[in-house]
């Protein structure tokens, strides 16, 4: 209990040597094993004498013999790093498959509860320019905002307009010309054509059904000219969410919860085969057995309004999410009753 520090360290070294032999005995030659046994015996004798200098000297010799008893493993650091990365990937894939899955909100169907991708057209402002680099970087981090200012470099003929995903999270609209020149707009195709007003530049897009590997479109107005603005403005990225994939294994969905579901085999929703299944994110309007009714609001003057109130089983919806929508405050517009 009151042994000197060097004695305690010596006993730990003996324990470490025994552990080393258990793990590495199959790699150590008989000659080396004999040397380790002799050095271990000499070290035990040194501990008995309690001669500090001798203990330290014999400990160094024992350590040196053990280190030289197994072949040097080259590239072990690389191997360990690869193993760590592989394990991390397996864990991440497992978490995504069974526990949490990241999603990016692409549309504004649930705004302002969840914000989708929104584009802001500046093509009509000739003097407009994106802000300086530091501000662009700050707004990208804070708001997920990216600026678009794509201008034609020469007279050309647009062959194709299509969407391209990079690393599954970054969606671009590609404008491919007959000359081989490609212009890249950092925005989904639908947003680029409508909210960045590319539709005014290229007219109607017609899908080419012969292109089976991806959806490709030919514009009805394919001619572009030097200095012509193809897309100008900025795009705010949709919200990023983590979806809990575990809870519904242990309980039933509750009315009013926001949930994600696939649209496979749902009548009226068609998804291009190239995309496989498509996910929707919505608020659960009712559960089995509910009678759901949307009642048109009549104001005090008796005038029907274009918004309505949601009822479950004859009673006004009580859940917080439904109440926020019907309040028509903070950008909520009520339920559509057009």
Q: Alpha-carbon Rg of the chain, whole angstroms? A: 34
Nearest of 196, 125, 180, 185 to residue 150 by alpha carbon: 185
Helix (H, G, I), strand (E, B) or coil at 147: strand
CA nearest to 187, candidates 234, 219, 256, 122: 234
End-to-end CA distance of the chain: 86
The whole-number mean pLDDT for each consecutive block of 10 residues of the chain, a chain of 338 residues, reads 79 90 86 90 88 88 87 72 90 91 84 89 87 92 90 94 82 94 91 90 83 75 94 90 93 94 82 66 94 91 90 94 92 84
Q: Confirm or reject CATH 1.20.1270.10 for domain 5-67, answering yes or no.
A: yes
Residue among 187, 230, 197, 204 at smallest CA distance from 121: 197
Closest CA to 115 of 105, 101, 125, 124: 105
Domain ranges of the chain: 5-67, 118-236, 292-336
Per residue in 279-337, pLDDT (tens digit) is 889 999 999 999 999 999 888 899 988 899 999 999 999 999 999 999 999 889 888 87
Q: Are 286 and 292 in contact (CB under 8 A)?
A: yes
pLDDT in tens, 238-279: 888 999 999 999 999 999 999 999 888 888 877 655 555 688
């Amino acid at each position: 209990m009151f042994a000197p520090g060097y004695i305690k360290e010596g006993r730990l070294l003996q324990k470490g040597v025994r552990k080393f032999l258990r793990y590495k005995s199959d790699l150590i030659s008989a000659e080396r094993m004999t040397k380790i046994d002799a050095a271990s015996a000499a070290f035990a004798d040194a501990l008995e004498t309690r001669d500090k200098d001798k203990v330290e000297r014999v400990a160094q010799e024992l350590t040196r013999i053990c280190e030289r008893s197994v072949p040097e493993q080259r590239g072990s650091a690389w191997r360990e790093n690869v193993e760590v990365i592989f394990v991390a990937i397996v864990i991440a894939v497992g978490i995504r498959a069974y526990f949490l899955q990241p999603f990016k909100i692409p549309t504004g169907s649930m705004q302002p509860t969840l914000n989708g991708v929104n584009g802001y057209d500046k093509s009509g402002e000739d003097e407009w320019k994106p802000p300086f680099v530091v501000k662009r970087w700050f707004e990208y981090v804070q708001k997920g905002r990216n600026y678009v200012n794509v201008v034609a470099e020469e007279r050309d003929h647009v062959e194709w307009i299509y969407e391209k995903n990079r690393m599954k999270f970054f969606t671009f609209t590609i404008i491919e010309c007959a000359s081989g020149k490609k212009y890249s707009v950092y925005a989904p195709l639908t947003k680029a054509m409508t909210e960045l007003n590319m539709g005014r530049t290229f007219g109607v897009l017609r899908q080419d059904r012969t292109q089976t590997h991806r959806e490709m479109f030919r514009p009805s107005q394919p001619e572009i000219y030097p200095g012509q603005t193809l897309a100008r403005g900025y795009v705010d990225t949709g919200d990023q969410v983590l979806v809990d994939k575990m809870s519904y294994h242990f309980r039933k969905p509750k009315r009013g919860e926001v949930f994600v579901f696939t649209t496979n085999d749902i009548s009226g929703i068609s998804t291009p085969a190239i995309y496989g299944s498509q996910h929707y994110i919505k608020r659960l309007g009712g559960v089995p057995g509910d009678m759901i009714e949307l009642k048109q609001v009549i104001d005090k003057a008796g005038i029907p309004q274009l918004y309505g109130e949601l009822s479950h089983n004859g009673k006004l919806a009580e859940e917080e999410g439904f109440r926020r929508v019907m309040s028509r405050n903070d950008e909520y517009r009520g339920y559509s009753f057009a």
